[in-house]
Structure 1
Amino acid sequence: MHRSMLEEVDPQLKMGEAVDGVTRHAAGLAAEIPQPSPQKTTTARTRRSWRRRPFPASNPPPPYRRRLLDLGWRRGGGDGGVQLADKLKIFKTDNFDPDAYVQSKCQTMNEKDEPVIVVRMEVREMRFGASISVHIQEIRHLCSYLQDLKKASAEEMRRSVYANYAAFIRTSKEISDLEGELLSIRNLLNTQAALIHGLSEGVQIDSLTSGTEGSTEEDISNVEGQEPSEIQKWSADFPDMLDVLLAERRVDEALDALDEAERVAADRTQTLTTAEISALRSAVSDNRQKLADQLAEAACQSSTRGIELRAAASALKRLGDGPRAHSLLLSAHNQRLQCNLQTIHPSSTSYGGAYTAALAQQVFSVVAQALSDSVEVFGDESCYASELVTWATQQVLSFALLVKRHVLSSCAAAGGLRAAAECVQISIGHCSLLEARGLSVSAVLLKQFKPSLEQALDANLRRIEESTAALAAADNWTLTYPPNGIHPLARSSVANLALQPKLSSSAHRFNSMVQDYFEDVTPLLSLQLGGSTMDGIAKNFSLYINLLISALPGSMDDEANIDGLGNKIILMAETEEQQLALLANASLLAEELLPRAAMKLSSINQSSMDDLRKRGPDKQNRVPELREWKRKLQRMVDRLRDSFCRQHALELIFTDEGDTHLSAEMYISMDNTVEEPEWVPSPIFQELYAKLNRMAGVAADMFVGRERFATLLMMRLTETVILWLSEDQAFWEEIEQGPKPLGPLGLQQFYLDMQFVIIFGQGRFLSRHVHQVILDIIDRAMGAFSATGMNPDSVLPGDDWFMDVAQEVVGMISGRGRAANGDREINSPTASVSAHSMSSFRSHGSS
């Protein structure tokens, strides 16, 4: 193709030269023709104007005019329908003569004497001037026409060159390479010629084997006396043959020739002389090194890849330079990788995931290709495998540093856990492809990514804490269903709205952010961040519990609430319903929502996670870890519950002025009064039952499906009051060691109060432990009474009396009973049962 292109361009160049020659020749002829006199110009112009008109059939044009018309040379350079290629054919011939061409086209002007003679003898002087003017005009038209042909030819050549520009460039490069090869061959031939010349002048080669001069002379005489054998001829031609193979880059044939030469040098010691063997071995050694250098140079070129690269490495290994071949193989892949990485810039992508994916595609594909090439060429030899693992580790480390610098650092600083998790997931996914081929490099990534991810986790936890605290400052502690945009417990329709959790606004926000947090951190299980992740959420939940505790009235002096709150302002929960809402938030989060979210760490993407080897023990420990984590959350809820119960117990026991509603004096002083007391439970215990009854009704609506928590809450409140009474040292010191002993009426009132607590608490508000504590308290009071020398059984009425009084009060407080005088309000239980209590006591006493 290149040859045909050159053949096409060369005639065009020749044609251009021919047109130039014709133009110069025509211009010379025009200069030789004498110019007409000025006074006859008008006549000539008149005749030229007449000649513009077509010739009639009866009056044909003169011969020279007819020749020009036949060629299409009219005024204006019209081509008469003749193609440019047809016009230029005559100029492309090798024997083109411009002088002859002009003479043939202007034959009438070559015979310029004939018109002059005719003019002199037969025509007037005016006729002569007109004829000369016509010749000049036709020559000028000829020159103009030739110039147009020259321009058209140049334009045609330019289009041809542009159309085949790539072929011209490729041809020029091939010519340049060919010149280099020819120069190398010439240098090689010069070297060989110098070597042969040196040998011919008597250069002596030391013998490789020990022998006497006599044997050497005998070998020489034998060689001189006989014709060289085929092996000797082959040995003599071997260097030249090998040089040709190397010059033509026929590597496999060169390797075969080198192996053959070594076999010849080893096996034909009897056939070849020592000098020939020495020369053969020297040629083998030199050419081995030369071939190795040539292969190394080829392997280092960026254009060498794939089959060519493996062939070069295999040839180097065959030459005995395996370590160098393996290093060059890895170096070539590294060079290719660095070239590909130059096209990837973090600024050209919209987010970190695209940059990480593009970078991982380049890095891990090159590493995988290097792994395949190494195994194909070098097999599983340990030395090469060790170098491959080291090289792959370096490439993965460089990749991890790039991702960390351009993506993870910014994500960690901004708390972009989802973007960071996506980048890590992309990287781990590519690592799994290498692990399928037996190369595990995920540990390198995990070591580099873990600090940045921990920073991102901390930033997310801080954001959860700050956002929850901000909402808690304005939370009205009213339970509602999840608003739009907040993660519900179950994604369902309006028909399943009852299944949705009812929380306050701050709890909804906390739950939503925790759900998102666990979804983002789930792909990071390979980094073994599960423990720190769950611990961070537990810490945030503890801070949220502190916020809820601080929302309880009267809890500002609690040191536990101050820890971690700083200067945060929380809206107080004034009513019992709002305070129970605090417990509903905490219990629902700790018992259901947070554990369910944490289960994502072991339930989502489990199929992809099992591919990582370190995932096995982590998965086995996940369930016990979740169980312990849930118990930790429950202990935090217990802190809120204890604060709630302690606050309400203090409200029952103490007044706003600091006085107490439950003291030993209230029992001891009963025996100092003259009037008969009203046998009803003490106001503090009636208020305790009334509070428990109200809270139980509210809790029944708040703790749907979690009635056990509400029951335990009521039991805990009862337990708090009873334990306070049991552990009040001042109370018992005054009862047991006070100046005034406990009398019969005081003992009876104390016994009635305890029986009242047992009766209203059975099955609802009283645990077995508290029931036993009450019995112990009764025994202790009766023991103090017995210390005075009196028998408690002699002064106390029967148990039926206590049960009747207690049940009547319970019925009145709960609304199941009414006093005999119907004008009493149910909400005034103390006043409503006074008459019945007195009558019961009198009847019991009379009996």
Structure 2
Amino acid sequence: MKASTFSNPKSSTPMLLFSPSVLSTTSTSKEISDLEGELSSIRNLLSTQATLIHGLAEGVHIDSLSPKVSEGLIANGLLNIEDREPSDLEKWSAEFPDLLDVLLAEKRVDEALAALDEGDRAVAEVKETNSLSPAVLTSLRTAIIERKQKLADQLAEAACQPSTHGAELRAAILALKKLGDGPRAHTLLLNAHFQRYQYNMLSLRPSSTSYGGAYTAALSQLVFSAIAQAASDSLGIFGKEHAYSSELVMWATKQTEAFALLVKRHALASSAAAGGLRAAAECVQIALGHCSLLEARGLALCPVLLKLFRPSVEQALNANLKRIEESTAALAAADDWVLTYPPAGTRQSVWPSSASLGNTMAFHHKLTCSAHRFNSMVQDFFEDVGPLLSMQLGGQTLEGLFQVFNSYVNMLIKALPGSMDEEANFEATGNKIVRMAETEAQQIALLANASLLADELLPRAAMKLSPSQASYKDDHRRRTSDRQNRHPEQREWKRRLVNSVERLKNTFCQQHALDLIFTEEGDSHLTAEMYINMDGTADEVEWFPSLIFQELFAKLNRMASLAADMFVGRERFATLLLMRLTETVIIWLSEDQSFWDDIEEGPRPLGPLGLQQLYLDIKFVICFASQGRYLSRNLHRVVNEIIAKAMAAFASTGMDPYSVLPDDDWFNDICQDAIERWSGKPKADRDLNSPTASVSAQSISSVRSHGSS
């Protein structure tokens, strides 16, 4: 291809529009010299022909006139114009189009631009002074417009050539802008950068086996470096004019969207479908890293990427959570519900509680195998949370994790005997098979799993979603604001986790309360007959708590012993569990309408012995709950209601209940003897300093004194 040049009028050095290597050859130099000679010959020929034609025209015109007519025309002054010499301006206007043609043919852009500017000025002056005839002025103006268009077309063609880039491209675009065609010039500039990076992308061939992060990095480098260079050229040539800035932003946004679609197709799609949150997160982080560099050039395109990547990351997030749920469910089907320390190498929470500081086992927690698996997968899940934060998926992540935990709690509820057709029949558990927790130790292990996950392990892992734990180390003000905004959300999330554990605890307590109260045939161990039938019998009464309350005490003692081993460092949860179980039994008694109908209305009235036995049973509950430190205010309230209702039923017979009830010391001695007999606890070991002892010692007497008043 022949090389051509645009010459600078102030310099003898030509400005290259094409490859310099071509111009360096001897043959090219010779061709240029020949071309210049030919152009000079053409110019001389044109000048000669113009003079000849002008002379012929004058001769023919004058000779064709008769002497008579010529004399008349001369007399009228009509031939004065033809006879006079053309002015310099007229000569210039005749030669100027030829000069422009030569400059355009030789592609001397700078000189052509200068000449066109000179022509525009001349036209403006002529228009003001009327120094040229309208026909000549119109012809000159048309010639200038046509040459401008021709030069613009030449510049546009050069800008579209793949070999034209760098300084040559900027020079062509600047010249086109000087011609007054700025919008076209700017569009050509952006298209040139687009064509260049499209050509470079031909060497980037993703395959199904290629590494998504490497492909994303290579593609990001190509696309965003092209956008950066286009932005730099645009600003350098066109400045910050709004129209050009807007077009640049729209163009850059379009290229970013196309880039995001390629990344989703070749890198994110497979990772998202497989639940590969870490791989998906890496691709997103790489793309955002390159994209963020454009912010220094005034292009904030990261929100565009985030919006387009969000569905893929959401898909990976949901698939990851689903995998945690299914893997945990599979282990729950074979879990022996025995608490053990985690296997060697298992990821654990590294935030020890204050109670466990200094303990060599501070970083290890006893859970069953399914709970260990759940915790380990959650810890891995929270390793890469940067994209989740930047895409504002923190709330959705917490919600998804809560749903997975709630599903696990449903399986734990389903593992409780007798709960298959009741509360555990949740849609979330589907038809998953769960191994039964047959023994009390296994059943308490279910609560140990749920409570430890909800109270400590999951909240600690979720703290990584707080921006204060993420990437804003350089902005204290932003970090503080985000922490203040995030913590209320996480506190609410933890409250929901605890409420889910409460469902398991409620089911546990209801099942054990029902086991105490009812036989396998459905008969009740706690009926009004056991009290109203005591009076009128000839047998001497042996004062002792009723059998069902003895069994309640024995069950609570066993569970307290098991909980002491299973809830090390979390004794409060064990205490609350025993408190809830005791409340469940007593509240059932308080709300059993058939029981109170029989006490209050028959078949026979409640007698003195029956009142004393009921009083003793309730007093017994108060005593062992007080000594076990699980006497709640709610339990104390319900106990007072039961005693008040029993005394009111007895008083309805016309007898004074206080006249048949011994004093509290008598009841306390019997209750204490029973506690010591079944617990094997010597009298000297009684816990007289229990924080609830003062409440229990006065609980019954307060009711009696209140009634007597």
Please tell me the TM-score bracket, short chain as reference.
0.7 to 0.9
Tell me which of 375, 378, 386 is aligned to 2:238. Answer: 378
Shift of 1:678: 1.3
Deviations 1:397-441 (A, max 9, x none): 111111111122212222222111111112222222223322222
Q: Look up the equivalent residue of 2:551 and give its one-letter code.
A: E
Q: Please tell me whether the aligned partners of residues 664 and 731 of structure 1 are also in contact (alpha carbons under 8 angstroms).
A: yes
TM-score, normalised to structure 1's length? 0.70
Number of the residue aligned with 1:395: 255
Distance 1:214 1:685 in 2: 145
Number of the residue aligned with 2:472: 607
Structure 1 unaligned blocks of 5 or more: 1-166, 205-212, 820-847
* Residues 491 and 587 of structure 1: CA distance in aligned 2, closer, same or farther (over 3 Å): closer
Structure 2 counterpart SS, 1:813: helix
* Residues 726 and 219 of structure 1: CA distance in aligned 2, closer, same or farther (over 3 Å): farther
Q: Look up the equivalent residue of 1:246 and give its one-letter code.
A: L
Shift of 1:571: 1.9
Number of the residue aligned with 1:575: 439
Number of the residue aligned with 1:525: 389
Q: Please tell me whether the aligned partners of residues 586 and 639 of structure 2 are also in contact (alpha carbons under 8 angstroms).
A: yes
Verify: 1:681 aligned to 2:545, yes or no: yes
Number of the residue aligned with 2:221: 361
Number of the residue aligned with 1:482: 342
Number of the residue aligned with 1:552: 416
Distance 1:417 1:184 in 2: 68
Verify: 1:652 aligned to 2:513, yes or no: no
Distance 1:346 1:717 in 2: 62
Number of the residue aligned with 1:262: 120
Distance 1:427 1:416 in 2: 17
Tell me which of 365, 373, 380 is aligned to 1:516. Answer: 380
* Residues 217 and 347 of structure 1: CA distance in aligned 2, closer, same or farther (over 3 Å): farther
Verify: 1:799 aligned to 2:664, yes or no: yes
* Residues 200 and 320 of structure 1: CA distance in aligned 2, closer, same or farther (over 3 Å): farther
Tell me which of 42, 50, 53 is aligned to 1:201. Answer: 53
Verify: 1:453 aligned to 2:313, yes or no: yes
Verify: 1:467 aligned to 2:331, yes or no: no
Structure 2 counterpart SS, 1:606: coil
Structure 2 unaligned blocks of 5 or more: 1-18, 58-74, 685-709
Shift of 1:524: 2.4
Number of the residue aligned with 2:698: none
Structure 2 counterpart SS, 1:499: coil
Verify: 1:440 aligned to 2:300, yes or no: yes
Number of the residue aligned with 1:746: 610
Number of the residue aligned with 2:265: 405
* Residues 789 and 391 of structure 1: CA distance in aligned 2, closer, same or farther (over 3 Å): same
Shift of 1:561: 3.5
Q: Look up the equivalent residue of 1:367 and give its one-letter code.
A: I
* Residues 705 and 491 of structure 1: CA distance in aligned 2, closer, same or farther (over 3 Å): closer
* Residues 645 and 616 of structure 1: CA distance in aligned 2, closer, same or farther (over 3 Å): same
Verify: 1:814 aligned to 2:670, yes or no: no
Q: Please tell me whether the aligned partners of residues 271 and 279 of structure 2 are also in contact (alpha carbons under 8 angstroms).
A: yes
Alignment of 1:581-660 (within 5 A): 581-602=445-466, 603-607=468-472, 621-660=485-524
Q: What is the aligned-residue RMSD (CA, Å)?
A: 3.3
Shift of 1:341: 1.1
Distance 2:153 2:384 in 1: 54
Deviations 1:308-341 (A, max 9, x none): 2122111111100001101100110110111011
Tell me which of 111, 123, 126 is aligned to 1:253. Answer: 111
Tell me which of 132, 137, 157 is aligned to 1:297. Answer: 157
Alignment of 1:755-770 (within 5 A): 755-762=619-626, 764-770=629-635
Q: Please tell me whether the aligned partners of residues 477 and 504 of structure 1 are also in contact (alpha carbons under 8 angstroms).
A: yes
Shift of 1:580: 1.3
Shift of 1:239: 4.1
Number of the residue aligned with 1:776: 641
* Residues 180 and 397 of structure 1: CA distance in aligned 2, closer, same or farther (over 3 Å): farther
Tell me which of 480, 498, 504 is aligned to 2:362. Answer: 498
Structure 1 counterpart SS, 2:207: helix
* Residues 180 and 750 of structure 1: CA distance in aligned 2, closer, same or farther (over 3 Å): farther
* Residues 800 and 566 of structure 1: CA distance in aligned 2, closer, same or farther (over 3 Å): same
Shift of 1:472: 0.9
Shift of 1:359: 0.8
Q: Please tell me whether the aligned partners of residues 522 and 600 of structure 1 are also in contact (alpha carbons under 8 angstroms).
A: no
Q: Which of 444-453 and 366-375 deviates more? A: 444-453
Distance 1:491 1:639 in 2: 27
Q: How many residues align?
A: 638
* Residues 185 and 644 of structure 1: CA distance in aligned 2, closer, same or farther (over 3 Å): farther
Distance 1:607 1:181 in 2: 66
Q: Please tell me whether the aligned partners of residues 489 and 501 of structure 1 are also in contact (alpha carbons under 8 angstroms).
A: no
Structure 2 counterpart SS, 1:520: coil
Distance 2:290 2:76 in 1: 74
Distance 1:221 1:412 in 2: 90
Q: Look up the equivalent residue of 1:251 and give its one-letter code.
A: V
Number of the residue aligned with 2:291: 431
Structure 2 counterpart SS, 1:497: coil
Deviations 1:438-465 (A, max 9, x none): 2222333233222222222221122111
Distance 2:41 2:338 in 1: 101
* Residues 185 and 215 of structure 1: CA distance in aligned 2, closer, same or farther (over 3 Å): farther
Shift of 1:217: 5.9
Number of the residue aligned with 1:40: none
Q: Look up the equivalent residue of 1:597 and give its one-letter code.
A: A
Verify: 1:223 aligned to 2:85, yes or no: yes
Q: Please tell me whether the aligned partners of residues 423 and 507 of structure 2 are also in contact (alpha carbons under 8 angstroms).
A: no
Shift of 1:389: 1.5
Q: Please tell me whether the aligned partners of residues 302 and 335 of structure 1 are also in contact (alpha carbons under 8 angstroms).
A: yes
* Residues 333 and 181 of structure 1: CA distance in aligned 2, closer, same or farther (over 3 Å): farther
TM-score, normalised to structure 2's length? 0.83
Distance 2:289 2:512 in 1: 56
Q: Please tell me whether the aligned partners of residues 246 and 254 of structure 1 are also in contact (alpha carbons under 8 angstroms).
A: yes
Alignment of 1:102-117 (within 5 A): none
Deviations 1:184-210 (A, max 9, x none): 995897699569747853699xxxxxx
Higher RCO (CA < 8 A, seq sep 6+): 2
Deviations 1:455-506 (A, max 9, x none): 2222112211110011111111122222233211118999732332221111
Tell me which of 525, 528, 531 is aligned to 1:667. Answer: 531
Q: Please tell me whether the aligned partners of residues 336 and 368 of structure 2 are also in contact (alpha carbons under 8 angstroms).
A: yes
Q: Percent identity?
A: 62
* Bigger CA radius of gyration: 1
Q: Please tell me whether the aligned partners of residues 719 and 770 of structure 1 are also in contact (alpha carbons under 8 angstroms).
A: yes
Deviations 1:491-527 (A, max 9, x none): 8999732332221111111111112222234422222
Q: Look up the equivalent residue of 1:711 and give its one-letter code.
A: T
* Residues 816 and 655 of structure 1: CA distance in aligned 2, closer, same or farther (over 3 Å): same
* Residues 182 and 450 of structure 1: CA distance in aligned 2, closer, same or farther (over 3 Å): farther
Structure 1 counterpart SS, 2:283: helix
